[in-house]
Copies of this chain bind each other. A is one copy, B any other.
Amino acid sequence: MISDTIHIAIVEDDHEIRQTLQLILDGSNGFACKYAFPDAESAIASIPNLPVDVVLMDIDLPGKSGIDATRELKRNLKSIDFIMLTVQSDDDSIFESLCAGASGYLLKDTNPADLLVHIKEVFNGGSPMSSQIARRIINSFRIIDNPLSDRETEILKLLSQGMNYKDVAETAFLSPHTVKTHIKNIYSKLHVNNRAEAIYKAIKQKLI
């Protein structure tokens, strides 16, 4: 927001951690940390009116969670970067945080010197995270296993574009009857009974 110095806010319920972090950050060259909140509600009320660049957000807060707070704040404050700083590293927390708009995800045992580096990285458009957490995210891109044949996958892709039997038949140079048979086999392999669920499952399993 304001040049040179990176302005930070902390949202953390533990009094001890909050004060210590604030002291360290505010005392470091190039950083200012004038604002610290013990809960999501007070952060949501104040941060929109503060000159803040980066918010360090705890996930486990009393009342509203840090993920919800991030979602709400990020909605109207696109330029502020949020770093989740937490003890939790389960997949759900990570993905929810990222979907809510977090730019970084660090564990609380990150040492202060590294934390400063990571805050700078976020400020400069990066997304710091431990390589362990990165791996979890990367694994979400993997295909588990594909029960569909090439032809079936091709047809399912055409269906996902809104085509009906006739359209698919013409595109794939097939009889509509054949298309129908393929689709029935697709449903059977995916254990579904209709197009909507087939497409949903196929995308979630990265088959299309």
From A1-9, A11-19, A138-146, give the one contacting chain B. Answer: A138-146
Interface CB pairs A-B, < 8 A, 13: A99-B142, A121-B131, A122-B131, A126-B132, A127-B132, A127-B134, A127-B135, A137-B138, A159-B196, A162-B194, A196-B196, A196-B199, A203-B203
- What separation, in Å, do the CA atoms of A80 and B129 have in the docked complex? 23
Contact flag A161-B128 (CB < 8 Å), given A98-B138, A141-B95: no
- What separation, in Å, do the CA atoms of A95 and B143 have in the docked complex? 13
Cross-interface CB contact of A192 among B118, B138, B159, B162, cutoff 8 Å: B162
Size of interface on A: residues with Cβ below 8 Å to B: 41
Chain A 83-117 residues near chain B, CB threshold 8 A: 95, 98-99, 101-104
**Which residues of A approach B to under 8 Å, CB–CB?**
95, 98-99, 101-104, 118, 121-122, 125-132, 134-135, 137-138, 141-143, 159-162, 164, 192-197, 199-200, 203-204, 206
A134 to chain B, nearest CB (A): 4
Contact flag A134-B128 (CB < 8 Å), given A196-B160, A199-B196, A200-B203: yes
Contact B99 A143 (CB under 8 A): yes
A185 to chain B, nearest CB (A): 17
